[in-house]
Amino acid sequence: RPRVLSGIQPTADSFTLGNYLGAVRNWVAMQDDYDAFYMVVDLHAITVEQDPATLRRRTRVAAAQLLAAGLDPQRCALFVQSHVPEHAQLGWVMSCLTGFGEASRMTQFKDKSAKQGSGAASVGLFTYPILQVADILLYQANYVPVGEDQRQHLELSRDLAQRFNGRYGKTFTVPEPYIVKDTAKIMDLQDPGAKMSKSAESPAGLIELLADPKVNAKKIRSAVTDTEREIRFDEVSKPGVSNLLRIYAALGERSIADLEQEYVGKGYGDLKKDLAELVTETFTPFKERTEQFLADEGKLDAILAEGGEKARAVAAKTLAEVYERIGFVPR
Catalytic residues: 112, 195, 198
For ligand ATP, the closer of residues 142 and 199 by Cβ is 199
Q: DSSP secondary-structure letter at 22?
A: I
Q: How many residues bind ligand ATP (CB under 6 A)?
A: 20
Q: Which long-range contacts (CB under 8 A, 24 or more apart) does 299-306 make?
A: 300/60, 300/63, 300/64, 300/67, 301/60, 303/63, 303/67, 303/73, 303/78, 304/63, 304/78, 304/79, 304/80, 304/83, 305/83, 306/73
Least distance in Å: CB of 194 to ligand ATP? 9
152 scored as a contact of ligand ATP (CB under 6 A): no
Identify residues 109-148 at the interface with ligand ATP (CB under 6 A): 146-147
Q: Which long-range contacts (CB under 8 A, 24 or more apart) does 213-216 make?
A: 213/279, 213/280, 213/283, 213/284, 216/276, 216/279, 216/280, 216/283
Q: Which of 149, 159, 230, 306 binds ligand ATP (CB under 6 A)?
A: 149
Closest-by-Cβ residue to ligand ATP is: 22
For ligand ATP, the closer of residues 22 and 192 by Cβ is 22
User: Residues near 267 by Cβ (< 8 Å), separated by ≥ 6?
Assistant: 229, 231
* Separation of alpha carbons 206 and 49, rounded Å: 21
159 to 198: interface string for ligand ATP, x by CB under 6 A: -------------------------xxx--------xxxx
246 scored as a contact of ligand ATP (CB under 6 A): no
Least distance in Å: CB of 217 to ligand ATP? 20
Q: Is 106 annotated as a binding residue?
A: no
Query: Is 142:176 a contact under the CB 8 Å cutoff?
Result: yes
199 scored as a contact of ligand ATP (CB under 6 A): yes
- The binding site for ligand ATP (CB under 6 A) comprises 8-9, 11, 16, 18-19, 22-23, 146-147, 149-150, 184-186, 195-199
